[in-house]
């Protein structure tokens, strides 16, 4: 059981470039989440997917898009990266919305 996996672990982008962060879980969870973590700000929810086929905005969705590809995978896309998107991104999953969440190891993104 790998739990929640994220790729890549590290990424450096230039302003305006695009990229997709990948997340997969092997726990047969219905709900998946994307957070960003910034110093002194805690974790802020970007988008979540309560179940396969649905996605909803969280607290800080601007500049991001998501795709729930299937029950296992939930990707986060930055269409035109900005320095303000420099952060550590965490994916999480739970059996149902609001249940205990299980987190991936994170992706450290730097936008120059």
Partner 1 sequence: AQSVTQLDSQVPVFEEAPVELRCNYSSSVSVYLFWYVQYPNQGLQLLLKYLSGSTLVESINGFEAEFNKSQTSFHLRKPSVHISDTAEYFCAVRGSGYSTLTFGKGTMLLVSP
Q: Residue 7 or 18: which CB sits closer to partner 1?
A: 7
Q: Does 101 bind partner 1 (CB under 8 A)?
A: yes
Q: Please report how close the Cβ of residue 57 comes to partner 1 at its closest, in angstroms.
A: 11
* Binding flag, residue 41, partner 1 (CB under 8 A): yes
Range list of β-strands (E), the chain: 4-7, 10-13, 19-25, 31-38, 42-49, 56-57, 64-68, 74-78, 87-94, 102-103, 107-111
Distance CA 62, CA 4 (A): 24
Which spans of this chain sit near partner 1 (rule: CB under 8 A)?
A: 4, 31, 33, 40-45, 48, 50, 58, 90, 92, 96-98, 100-106
């Amino acid at each position: 059981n790998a739990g929640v996996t994220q790729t890549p672990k590290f990424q450096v982008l230039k302003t305006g470039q695009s990229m997709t962060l990948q997340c997969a879980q092997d726990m047969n969870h219905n709900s998946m989440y994307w957070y960003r973590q910034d110093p002194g700000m805690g974790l802020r929810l970007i988008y979540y997917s309560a179940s396969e086929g649905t996605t909803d905005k969280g607290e800080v969705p601007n500049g991001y898009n998501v795709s729930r590809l299937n029950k296992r995978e939930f990707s986060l896309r930055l269409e035109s990266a900005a320095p303000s998107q420099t952060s550590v991104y965490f994916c999480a999953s739970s059996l149902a919305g609001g249940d205990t969440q299980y987190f991936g190891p994170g992706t450290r993104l730097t936008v120059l």
